[in-house]
Structure 1
Amino acid sequence: MARCDELARVSADEGAITRVYLSPEHARVNRLAAEWMREAGMTARQDAAGNQLGLLPAADPDAPVLMLGSHLDTVIDAGRFDGIVGVLMAIEVVRLLRVEGEDGRSRSPFPFGIEVAAFSDEEGTRFGKALLGSSAVAGTWDDAWWDLTDADGTSLREAFREFGLDPGRIGEAARRPGELVGYLEAHIEQGPELHRRDESLAVVSSIASARRFQLVVEGEARHAGGTPYDMRRDALLGASEAALAVERICRGEHHIIGTVGQLEAFPGAVNVVPGEARFSLDLRGEFDERRDRAWGAIERELDEIMGRRGLRWHAREVHSAPAVFCAPLLQDVVREGIVAGTGAAEPATLFSPAGHDGMSLGAVAPVGMLFLRNPDGISHHPDEAVSAADVALGLRALAEAVAHLGAEPVA
């Protein structure tokens, strides 16, 4: 918990926590994490994507590894636990489980090594593309991303070079299937379910499928005073009605989480009927099919709204990610870890509406997750919280989960 506070002081903003990819703050937290990894008996290195990695090898140097971790980057004005607590818990689990080899060096007591990953860009705050660090490790890097730019016009390629990384070596960060036994991540729940249940820990069953869109509504800009209502083609009113329709459809039979997080009107003058409106749409669900049905219903509703108001609309999909289901074996060992660590008879099982690095790692390894209670469920906000008592239980459960996995035969 003290280290969470120490990392919180590494920020680009005074009085707030902001730490983005390939920034001086990114470099500073990587150095701190590397120091703590070495203290726990690991060798530490920064990979070709700027992820900080620590390795506790198995007795067999060619054995695969179990990856534990999360991310150290943040949103703007963040809390101090999202991602961060998962990295620090992974380091402490290594400290708990390591043994000394005949050569006096720390090693894994299992038929696999343990690797801790502090991913560099889960949030996508700087370049608008999430999961960059873990995508590089999963081998799913897209060269089109090199042309992404930040708010200052710096491209991802330029930022790589300024950070001391070589864009031409990005492929060296990728892992091949068979190199990883699996990926386990501890994370605060970014919602209130455990708080409502009065439970400390939960097994995660899956990570939500997601689609994101940028939508444009086109009407006609005219004088606000001189244009009667029957002649108005107000794009902002159309977009506003669309936002309400998103809530109604998603809360209804589809049971999908839909959010309009951005809404802009143009030309944006106080005395002009808006001729254009732009808004975002974030759709998340436990199952891809249900999410897609909700989008189909939203499309039909937008056709009706815009047709009735004399408006036109179009959408551009900017992100799509399928649901990632946690591997049954890893769900089982996490469940056994919670039972052994807390004495709970029947641990909660939750799906994660928020995205995590496991969404990327699922392309190359089985994925499992452990949730920790987050009082009131608030996240991406300075009031984000987790108790030291729950972290202690989580450490015990995560260590037990790794030990249970170590008792399973490695394929």
Structure 2
Amino acid sequence: MLTLAELNAASQTEFTAAMQGVYEHSPWIAERTWSARPFATLAALKIALVQTVRQARRDEQLALIRAHPELAGQAAVDGTLTAESTHEQVRAGLAHCTSEEFTRIKALNADYGARFGWPFILAVRGARGSGLSRQHIIAALERRLDNPPDVEFAEALRQIHRIAELRLNDKFGHIPELGNLVWDWCEQLAKHSEPGWAEKGELTATYLTDAHRAAAADIAATMRDCGFDQVEIDAVGNVVGTYHGRDPAAPRLLTGSHYDTVRNAGKYDGRIGHFVPMACVRALYRAGRRLPFGLEVVAFAEEEGQRYKATFLGSGALVGGFDPAWLDQRDRDGITMREAMQHAGLPADLQAIAALRRDPARYLGFVEVHIEQGPVLNALDLPLGIVTSISASVRYVGEIIGMASHAGTTPMNARRDAACAAAELALFVERRAAADGDSVGTVGLLEVPGGSINVVPGRCRFSLDLRAPNNEQRDRLRDDVLAELAALCTRRGLRDTIEETMRESAAPSDPAWQGRWERAVTALGLPLHRLPSGAGHDAMKLHTAFPQAMLFVRGENAGISHNPLESSTADDLDLACAAFTQLLDQLAAS
């Protein structure tokens, strides 16, 4: 196996020879990267190679893409693939395509080449490195045919970097063991999904449903297997694992994230935030190592606000933020939260919930690892990012009420159309948020109750989600949107109802804890990239009582989240585990 010591001592010719096959038929990448030696870590080498490609001319990048063979293409038939490509395509089962699959792939390859002018590139060994199914490969080809050319060009390069990463792992004998473990845990937990979604292979696990409770039981069992000293499911359904320090009474570092999901969710949102520290505890336990502080890992039961309008319920309970009125909320089936808790075996008792409040004096702080849920790290080809702050946000649900009337007999100037008003509001939100440059506004729900093709909508329900980097900017955006709602209803002869369902202040990262994350990432040989979080996280709730800071992990597929395409690689998850371990080591040495 190749070693970094050998590579760092190599001449340019030796270095290029050692890197042969990493980037298909493109020795210039290794030749130019040689001058960046020495590489402190394998991750640093990978990043240096990526940066060489990023700095290349577009025609050189295009030549790199075109140096790759089609999947299950003529080169595979002729036996002229490189050894690396042959191994990868065989591992993905492309040598065993049915005639129908081969015909479909051949047609898609032709369509793709005609549209873009280069071959379809996909790291067929996948996010885990163990190989994609032929069905996944065909689905990716079909999906990416719809990409704009510039988007697809960038995606082809990202896939090439992933191929190179896996080939480097092979050369160095590197196995991302903790990353594989976290990836596998996410896959296993995703098997718990609610009826109506599970049958379609889709993930939905909302608060205290059977799927959600099964997920909690799985997390608790995994915590016990990892070696946690105490594991419990608390009064709101949080799964809490404690790994004592050398002195069980020592202060603790609090960490974790949520395990509930949106409907038709991805598998990594929230869940890597407890699985990464769990993997690190497992390593500590197996090494027989105790730290001078304890670790408390919490898988928060509710963050998404899907079944009940009770966003951040799980983390909120730890800072005294549980609203007693939530117990009487009803879900779509008329089940109150109190009834759901009782059915789950939880006390549904305000005194028991209040007892969950943590004493900040007993904790060092709170850190959270989370998939980015955005495109920034993916576009920069960086596996990890440092969060500087979490944006302020506010959410509403509302209804515009007009008059239902006959679609054929009601003149356009006599209509009181609630749906058109909601559409007008949605377009205003789009324009107004864009005007700030860094605010975002979303009308994610639009519903015409009892709507019919030949009836002017008399009612339209809608949602508002408004976010900005700071509280003041968020409030200006909110004021303008609500003023526009009132104005357009007056102009159209309508009325509205509006209810605020969530408001969260901006949560800037604590400088000391952000600095620890930065030193951890630097120690891995990775460049630092700082970015704000537009998404809300449990850290913003814990921010009210604890110093906090977050680490982002790159998402695949342009960073998409709240979507089944949400993904992260085992290698990136392994780096997150390594960064978390570095943070623990810093803290232990201080």
**TM-score normalised according to structure 2 size:** 0.65
Instruction: Find out whether 1:229 has 2:412 as its counterpart.
Output: yes
What's 2:331 paired with? 150
Structure with more relative contact order (C-alpha pairs < 8 Å, separation 6 or more): 1
Contact 1:7 1:29 survives alignment (8 Å): yes
Instruction: Find out whether 1:324 has 2:507 as its counterpart.
Output: yes
Shift of residue 254, structure 1, vs aligned partner: 5.7
| 2:304 maps to which of 111, 120, 123 | 123
Give the distance between the partners of 2:549 and 2:366, measured in 1 at CA.
6
Distance 1:49 1:253, change over 3 A: closer
Give the distance between the partners of 1:303 and 1:32, measured in 2 at CA.
48
Any residues of structure 2 matched to 1:99-248 within 5 Å, and which? 108-110=290-292, 112-168=293-349, 169-248=352-431
Bigger shift: 34-43 or 329-338? 34-43
Give the distance between the partners of 1:126 and 1:298, measured in 2 at CA.
26
| 2:583 maps to which of 381, 396, 401 | 401
Contact 2:308 2:329 survives alignment (8 Å): yes
Distance 1:288 1:224, change over 3 A: same
What's 2:178 paired with? none
Contact 1:48 1:171 survives alignment (8 Å): no
Amino acid at match of 1:407: A
What's 1:22 paired with? 208
Contact 2:398 2:498 survives alignment (8 Å): yes
Instruction: Find out whether 1:368 has 2:549 as its counterpart.
Output: yes
Amino acid at match of 2:562: H
Distance 1:315 1:28, change over 3 A: closer
Contact 2:240 2:299 survives alignment (8 Å): yes
What's 2:142 paired with? none
Q: Deviations over 1:183-233 (max 9, x none)?
A: 111111101000011111001111221111223323333322222222223
Shift of residue 371, structure 1, vs aligned partner: 0.4
Instruction: Find out whether 1:340 has 2:526 as its counterpart.
Output: no
**TM-score normalised according to structure 1 size:** 0.92
Q: Deviations over 1:351-395 (max 9, x none)?
A: 111111112212221111110000211111111100111111111
Bigger shift: 182-191 or 76-85? 76-85
What's 1:38 paired with? 224
What's 1:103 paired with? none
| 1:3 maps to which of 176, 185, 202 | 185
Shift of residue 179, structure 1, vs aligned partner: 1.9
What's 2:243 paired with? 56
Amino acid at match of 1:81: Y
What's 1:291 paired with? 474
Distance 1:39 1:232, change over 3 A: closer
Amino acid at match of 1:33: I
Contact 1:258 1:284 survives alignment (8 Å): yes
What's 2:574 paired with? 392
What's 2:68 paired with? none
Shift of residue 303, structure 1, vs aligned partner: 4.1
Q: Deviations over 1:279-329 (max 9, x none)?
A: 211101111111111122223333443344333344322211111122111
SS of the counterpart of 1:138? Answer: coil
Q: Displaced runs of 4+ in structure 1, greater than 6 A?
A: none
Amino acid at match of 1:236: A
Give the distance between the partners of 1:83 and 1:57, measured in 2 at CA.
24
What RMSD in Å do the two structures reach over aligned CA positions? 2.0
Shift of residue 28, structure 1, vs aligned partner: 2.6
Contact 1:235 1:275 survives alignment (8 Å): yes
What's 2:256 paired with? 69
Amino acid at match of 2:564: P
Contact 1:121 1:133 survives alignment (8 Å): yes
* Structure 1 stretches lacking a partner, 5+ long: 101-105
Contact 2:425 2:485 survives alignment (8 Å): yes
Bigger shift: 45-54 or 185-194? 45-54
Shift of residue 81, structure 1, vs aligned partner: 1.0
* Structure 2 stretches lacking a partner, 5+ long: 1-182
What's 2:122 paired with? none
SS of the counterpart of 2:396? Answer: strand
Contact 1:99 1:108 survives alignment (8 Å): no
What's 2:23 paired with? none
Shift of residue 259, structure 1, vs aligned partner: 0.4
Give the distance between the partners of 1:405 and 1:237, measured in 2 at CA.
56
What's 2:79 paired with? none
Contact 2:338 2:348 survives alignment (8 Å): yes
Number of equivalences: 400
Amino acid at match of 2:319: A
Contact 1:254 1:293 survives alignment (8 Å): no
Contact 2:311 2:502 survives alignment (8 Å): no
Distance 1:382 1:253, change over 3 A: closer
Distance 1:269 1:136, change over 3 A: same
Distance 1:50 1:230, change over 3 A: closer
Give the distance between the partners of 2:305 and 2:487, measured in 1 at CA.
34
What's 1:257 paired with? 440
Give the distance between the partners of 1:154 and 1:216, measured in 2 at CA.
23
Instruction: Find out whether 1:353 has 2:507 as its counterpart.
Output: no
Amino acid at match of 1:154: I
What's 2:101 paired with? none
SS of the counterpart of 1:291? Answer: helix
Contact 1:107 1:113 survives alignment (8 Å): no
Between Structure 1 and Structure 2, the one with more helix by share is: 2
SS of the counterpart of 2:303? Answer: coil
Amino acid at match of 1:405: L
Contact 1:243 1:260 survives alignment (8 Å): yes
Bigger shift: 398-407 or 113-122? 398-407
Contact 1:58 1:107 survives alignment (8 Å): no
Between Structure 1 and Structure 2, the one with more strand by share is: 1
What's 1:87 paired with? 274
Contact 1:247 1:258 survives alignment (8 Å): yes
Give the distance between the partners of 2:398 and 2:235, measured in 1 at CA.
35
